[in-house]
Amino acid sequence: MGEITFQQFLDSKQYSKNGILRYEKVFDKDYLSSGGYASTHHFLKTGLDGFLNQNSYVLDVGCGLGGSAFYMNKNFGCKILGIDLSLNMVEIAIQKNEEYKYQDISFEVADCSLRHFPEATFDVIYSRDTILHIQDKLALFKNFYKWLKPGGKFFITDYCAAPKNTWNSEFATYVAGRGYDLHTPEAYGEILKKAGFTNVKAEDVSVYWKTLLEAELKKLDEGSTTRKEIMEEFTEVDLKALEEGWKQKLKRVDSGYQRWGAFWGTK
């Protein structure tokens, strides 16, 4: 029996349909990244407000369930192509948009490290908590640079970490088990500069992330609407897995090992 592909790993493990729909209960309807609607609104208003408009063509890398694409189309009138390696994610995103009927949004199953676009295709490249899966970030960011139009912008949030030589065994095991490639926010920003981007801003937004994680964990409190919905649609095992997952994330953030970065830049 051959080795499973990374796509098969995602769709059968971390992003099984059951796992996706469980996570969505905590992150927010249509979202599968930290802060859901609230962080999408925050970052797009603070980082790209005034740049996005009805003429903008956006590549959403790791589009998940389509929440960010729906937000950008509704609020700015953008045209968006969302790509994600998870077949499960893209199937759900397409089903959602068949219901919502947002215009000028398309979703595609694709590996961003293998997909190619003509030079100067997009006005904006946007990605939320996805590139942690990519080992060769420099090669990917060089492609991003090529795919953007002159003057185009990118915005990324991603999992980051303390310097690797400070990690304890528990955190190292966690990172290896997920297949993540994590850098400090500062080092991440340097990779973007090496790819050719200018006006690179690399921020450690872990303090903001902690407030989002705490709010998400609170949704699982006894008596909460979200907890009731999870118990109606899933199992107590699912609920406990969510609670434990969020508690562990908060523990890793509090320890300083796991961090969250936000990155902006211009071609």
Q: Compute the distance between CA of residue 120 and CA of residue 146 in angstroms, rounded to an integer.
A: 6
Residue 126: the pLDDT is 98
Contact 60, 83 (CB under 8 A): yes
Residue 94: the pLDDT is 97
Judged against a pLDDT cut of 60, whether residue 10 lies above it is answered with no
Here the tokens at position 226 are 């979200």
Residue 100, Cβ density class (10 Å: 0-12 exposed, 13-18 middle, ≥19 buried)? middle
Judged against a pLDDT cut of 80, whether residue 14 lies above it is answered with no
Q: Compute the distance between CA of residue 85 and CA of residue 133 in angstroms, rounded to an integer.
A: 10
Strands 198-204 and 258-266: antiparallel
Residue 253: the pLDDT is 98
Of the candidates 75, 63, 144, 143, the one whose C-alpha atom is nearest the C-alpha of residue 106 is: 63
Here the tokens at position 265 are 């830049």
Amino acid in the structure at residue 104: D
Taking only the tens place, the pLDDT of each residue in 73-131 is 999 999 999 999 999 999 999 999 999 999 999 999 999 999 999 999 999 999 999 99
Average the pLDDT over 135-157 and give the result: 98
Cβ atoms within 10 Å, residue 43: 22
Average the pLDDT over 229-251 and give the result: 95
Residue 12: the pLDDT is 47
pLDDT band per the 50, 70, 90 thresholds, residue 11: very low
Residue 233: the pLDDT is 92
* pTM tops 0.95, yes or no: no
Judged against a pLDDT cut of 50, whether residue 159 lies above it is answered with yes
Residue 18: the pLDDT is 85
Q: Compute CA distances 237 → 187, 228, 234, 241, whole Å.
A: 38, 14, 8, 6
Mean pLDDT of the chain: 93
